[in-house]
Every structure is written in structure tokens, then in C-alpha cells.
Structure 1
Amino acid sequence: MKKIGFLSFGHWSDHPAYNTRTAGDTLLQSIDLAVAAEQIGLDGAYFRVHHFARQLASPFPLLSAIGTRTNKIEIGTGVIDMRYENPLYMVEDAGAADLISGGRLQLGLSRGSPEQVIEGWRHFGYAPADGETDADMGRQKALQFLDRLKGDGFAEPNPYPMFPNPPGLLRLEPHSEGLPERIWWGAASNATAVWAAANGMNLQSSTLKFDENGKPFHIQQAEQIRLYKEAWVKAGHQREPRVSVSRSIFALINEQDRLYFGQQAKGGDSFGYIEADQRAVFGRSYAAEPDQLIRELAQDEAIQEADTLLLTIPNTLGVDYNIHVLSSILEHVAPALGWR
């Protein structure tokens, strides 16, 4: 059994083929999509965060809105770029969104990815310390966020406050119990997956990772997950971790599906560079008739290692078509693979 969710990048553009022409279209349709996804039995609604782009960027208002319109679906991110974040303010935002949703928040964090602008985090007022890289800065902010999220007091109270304080040091409010166990790290390398395990975060692994040995993507990703699980056990954590992988999967059910995604059936993994000196492997998209899709997905080692599968969706095609895409997987593919 696997949890199955969708992952939306939240694109919009004034393009005649798009159902999301504006930011407002994307935000409102994201809410409607999460509501409809819950109704068909999907387990999660996840959203990417990209700054300086015509994509979703500020997750907490969106997640809170979805929390008020749904009852049981997990709502989360994949991922928040921590280089841009104020960790303490983010603790307050996350606590509020989690309480609004009744404890359904699943926050994916990361040190960040290639950006739309040069060193965009500087425009937000942040810069690495001397001798520190921007990736170091992102990881340090993530650890600070995790520490403050626990709810321990750390701030000296004013002896003459506006309102009475409880005894002792003060914590950030609102505090949501249990949220620290629902924080994920988006790891692009084996080393950062091990680091995430050591620090008690769940693992998100996407449709690309750094190429560390030239093997096919799903094998490298499965190796990464196994290293993560070994590191989790070694760290001595008392709970079971969660692991998600992302995939683009399309069951070709009708002519519209074949028109949109039929050409992807012939695709495979690709190798390239996501940064100037960092070679990466990009996982293939899956697009085929259901029977063939089942056979192909059964060979994906990383999916087998994960407990959660996030299906990347073409959000620009609108809510109705994306529900068709997701329903097709739930109905025609998931049962045969034992996911449902």
C-alpha cells in the first residue's frame, strides 16, 4: 500500500492553450483540485515553491485555504527553498496552517534549486556567512526551523509585557504538536539524504538527482533511499520515517491523453547539468496504455522503496482534466501494482 498524492508546480501564462492564465487562476484552481482530489480518494496535495517565476511561491496562504475546504487529504510542499526563509516567522506560519488543517501539514524543505534570478535570496535580505555557501545557509536555516518548531521556550520574557506571560522562557506561537515529525527534506544527493536522516526528517526525492555513478535514474534513486533508511536506523530515531518519490505518469485512456502525452511513451532517462558543474540524471516520464504502464512501473526500484508517490501534474490543463489523469492512475494502474 502506498500513499498517492499530486505535485503541482502551479504554472500560469497568458497562453491560449492554458486554463491558468493568471496567478489567481492557478491559486483558485489549486484549491479546487485539492478538494476534488480528496473526493476521488487521493492521499495528498503538494505544491512546488519557486520565487521570481510565474509559478506558486507563497505556500502558507494556499495550504491554509485548502485546509479549510478539505477534511483528510495531506497538504504539503515539495519543496520550500530555505535560502529565502526567515525560520522563526516560518514556524509561526507553519503552526497556523497546521492547526487550521487539523494536523495535516507535510512540509518539504530544501536548500534550493537553480533559480530564475542570480542569487535571488539576496533580494529577500539573506546572504551566506563568511566561509559558507548558499547551500550551507539553506541547511542551517532548516535546522533552526526544526529546532524552534519543537516548541521549547528560548526567548527571555519582558518583565513589563503588554499581556501576562506564562512562566519561563517563551516559545513561538501558535505551536502545533506533532508537526516536527511531518517535515521532509528534498535531497538531490546521497549525502544530503543521509544528512536528512541524521536530523530526523522524512525524505523527498524528486524526478532528478545528482548523477553519482552513471546508473539509470530509478536505480540511483533506490540506492539513495536505502542509504537514507540505513542512516535513519543508525541515528536511533524512535519512529518510522516516510519516503516519497515523484513521477510523471500518464495512463493513455482516451484520444486526448494520447494527443497530450503519447510522444512521451518513447522517452527515457536523460543526463545533463542543473548547475554549471553539477551533472544530474533526470528520470523518464511514464506514458502508456494501462497494461504496459503496469509492467513498466513494476520495474521501478525507487517506487518500490518509497511509501508515498507524488504524481506530477500538468496544472495548466485545468482541474477536470487533472482529476481525469489522477483517477486513471487510481482506477487502472494502482490496484494491479498493490498500491491500493
Structure 2
Amino acid sequence: MKKIGFLSFGHWADHPAYMARTAGDTLRQSIDLAVAAEEIGLDGAYFRVHHFAAQLASPFPLLSAIGARTSRIEIGTGVIDMRYENPLYMVEDAGAADLISEGRLQLGISRGSPEQVIDGWRYFGYEPKEGENDQDMGRRKALEFLDKLRGVGFAAPNPNPMFPNPPGLLRLEPYSAGLRERIWWGAASNATAVWAAENGMHLQSSTLKFDESGKPFHVQQAEQIRLYKEAWKKAGHQREARVSVSRSVFALVTDEDRQIFGRDGKSRDQIGMIEPGKRAIFGRSYAAEPDQLIKELAEDEAIREADTILLTIPNTLGVEYNVHLLNSILKYVAPGLGWR
């Protein structure tokens, strides 16, 4: 059994083939898609965060709106770039979204990836401390975020406040109990996956990672997950670790499916550079008739190691077609793999 969610990058463009032509289209359709996904039995609605791009950026208004319109589905991110964040303000935003959804937030964060502009976090008013690089800054902010999510008071109260204070140091409000245990880390390397486990975060592993062995993508990702699980066990956490992997998976069940995604059936892993001197491997897409898709996915080692699968979706094709794509996986593929 596996949890199955969707992951949307939230693109929009004024293009005649797009159903999402404006930011407003994308936001409203994201809410509608999450509602529909819950209705067909999907387990999660996740959204990517990109700044300075025609894509979804500020996640908490969207997550709160989805939380208010749904009752069961997990809602989350994959991932928030912590280089751009104020950890304390983020604690308040995340706490509010989690309370609105009654504890369904599954928040994916990370130190960040190459962005649309050079050092975009500088425009947000952030600078690495002396001796840090931007990646160090992202990890430092992540640890501060985790610390403040514990709900332990840390701020000295004003002796003459506008409203009466409780005794002792003050914490950030609104506080949502349990949210600290539902934070995920997006790891692109084996070392950062181990670091995530040591710090009590669940693991998100996407469709790319640093190429650390030259092996096929799914094999490297499976090795990363096993290292994470070993580190989690060694750290002595008393709760169960969770692991998600992202995949582009399309069941070809209609002529329209075959027309749009038929060529993806020939997809293979690709090698590229996402940072200077950093060789990365990008995982293949899966597109085939359901029976063939089941055979191919059964050989994916990383999927076997994960408890959650996030299906990347082409959000610009609209809510109705994406519901069809997701429902095709639930109906024709998931049972054959034992996911349902």
C-alpha cells in the first residue's frame, strides 16, 4: 500500500493550448483539482514553489484555501526554498494553514535549487552570514524553523503589553501541535538525506539528484532512501519515517493520452548540470498502456522503497484532464502494483 498524491508546478502562460493562462487561473484550478483529487480517492495535493517565474510561489494562501475546501487529503509543498524565507513568519503562516486543514499539512522544504534570477534571495532581504554560502543559509533557516515549530517560548514578554501575557517566555502563534513532525526535506544528495534523518524530517526525493555513482537514476535514489532509513533508525526517533518520490507517470488509455504523451514512452534517464561542477541525473518519464506501465514501474527500485508517490501533472491542461490522468493511475495501474 502506498499513498498517492499529485505534484503541480503551477505553470501559466497566455498560450492558446493552455487552460491556465493567468496566475488567477492557476490558483483557482489548483484548489479545484485538490477538491476533485480528494473525491476520486487520491491521498495528497502538493505544490512546487518557484520565485520570479510564472509559476506558483507563495504557498500558504493556496494551502489554506485547499484546507478549507477539503476534509481528508494531505496538502503540502515540494519544496519551499528556505533561502527566501523568514523562519519565524513562516512558522505563523504554516501554523495557520495547518489549523485550517485540521492537521493535514505535509510541508516540504529544502535549501533551494537554481532559480530564475541570480541570488534571488538577496532581493528578499537575505544574506548569508560570514563564513556561510547560500546553501548553508538555507539549512540554518530550516533548523530555526524546526526549532520554533516546537512551540517552546523564547521571547521575553513586554512588562506593559497591550493584552495580558501568559507566564514565562512567549512562543509564536498560532501554534499547531504536531506540525513539527510533518516537515519533509527535499534532498538531492545522499549526505543531505542523512542530514534530514538526523534532524527528524521526512524525505522527499524528486525526479533528479546528484549523480553520485553513475548507476541508473532509480537505483541511486533507492540507495539514497536506504541510507536515509538507516540514519533515521540510528538517530532513535520514536515515530515512523516517511519517504516520497516524484514520478511523471501517464497511463495511455485514450487517443488523447496517446497523442499528448505517447512519445514519453521512449524517455530515458538524462545527465545534466544543475550547479557548476555538480553533475545531476534526471529520472525518466513513464508513459505506456496500463499493463506495460505496471511492468515498468514494478522494476523501479526507489518506488519500492518509498511509502508515498507524487505524480507530477501537466497543470496547464486543465482540471478535467488532470483528474482523468490521476484517475487512470488509480483505476488501471495502482491495483496491479499493490498500491491499492
Under a length normalisation based on structure 2, what TM-score does the superposition of the two structures give? 1.00
Kindly report which structure 2 residues correspond to 1:184-203, keeping only aligned pairs within 5 A, or say none. 184-203=184-203
- 1:25 aligns with 25
1:316 aligns with 2:316: yes
Partner of 1:272: 272
Taking the aligned partners of 1:90 and 1:170, their CA distance within structure 2 comes to 17
| Letter matched to residue 105 of structure 2 | L
Residues in 1 aligned to 2:194 and 2:275: alpha-carbon distance in whole angstroms:
22
Match of 2:258 in 1: 258
State the partner residue of 1:6: 6
| Equivalent in the alignment of 1:69 | 69
The residue aligned with 2:234 is: 234
Alignment gaps of 5+ in structure 2: none
Q: Is 1:301 matched with 2:301?
A: yes
Corresponding position of 1:144? 144
Q: In structure 2, how many angstroms separate the alpha carbons of the residues matched to 1:338 and 1:181?
A: 27
Give the unaligned 5+ runs of structure 1: none
Which secondary structure does the structure 1 equivalent of 2:304 belong to? helix
Match of residue 16 from structure 1:
16
Q: Which residue of 1 aligns with 2:204?
A: 204
Distance in 1 (alpha carbons) for counterparts of 2:337 and 2:199: 32
1:69-108 matches, within 5 Å, as: 69-108=69-108
2-side partners of 1:200 and 1:71: how far apart?
A: 27
**Worse-matched range after superposition: 208-217 or 270-279:** 270-279
Superposition deviation, residue 44 in structure 1: 0.2
Aligned to 2:47: 47
CA–CA distance in structure 1, aligned partners of residues 234 and 262 of structure 2: 44
CA distance in 2, matches of 1:23, 1:138: 27
Q: What whole-Å deviation, never above 9, does each CA across 1:198-246 have from its counterpart, x for those lacking one?
A: 0000000000000000000000000000000000011010011100000
Q: What does residue 217 of structure 1 align with?
A: 217
Task: Note if 1:333 corresponds to 2:333.
Answer: yes
Where does residue 167 of structure 1 map in the other structure? 167
Displacement after TM superposition at 1:317 (Å): 0.1
Separation in 2, partners of 1:83, 1:114: 11
Say if 2:249 is the partner of 1:249.
yes
Q: CA deviation at 1:131?
A: 1.2
RMSD: 0.4
Residue-by-residue CA offset, 1:239-268 (whole Å, 9 max, x unaligned): 111000000000000110011100010111
Give the residue type in structure 2 aligned to 1:299: E
Give the residue type in structure 2 aligned to 1:107. L
- SS of structure 2 residue aligned to 1:333: helix
Residue identity opposite 2:254 in structure 1: N
Give identity over the alignment, percent. 81
Q: CA–CA distance in 2 between the matches of 1:111 and 1:256?
A: 38
Deviations 1:82-141 (A, max 9, x none): 000000000000000000001000000000011100000000000111111100000000
Aligned length: 340
CA distance in 2 between counterparts of 1:260 and 1:55 reads: 22
For residues 39 and 233 of structure 1, what CA distance do their matches in structure 2 show?
36
Query: Paired residue for 2:58?
Result: 58
Which amino acid counterpart does residue 125 of structure 1 have in structure 2? G
The corresponding residue for 1:36 is: 36
In structure 2, give the amino acid aligned to 1:333.
V
The secondary structure found in structure 1 opposite 2:17 is: coil
Question: How much does 1:277 deviate?
Answer: 1.4
| Cα offset, 1:180, TM superposition | 0.5
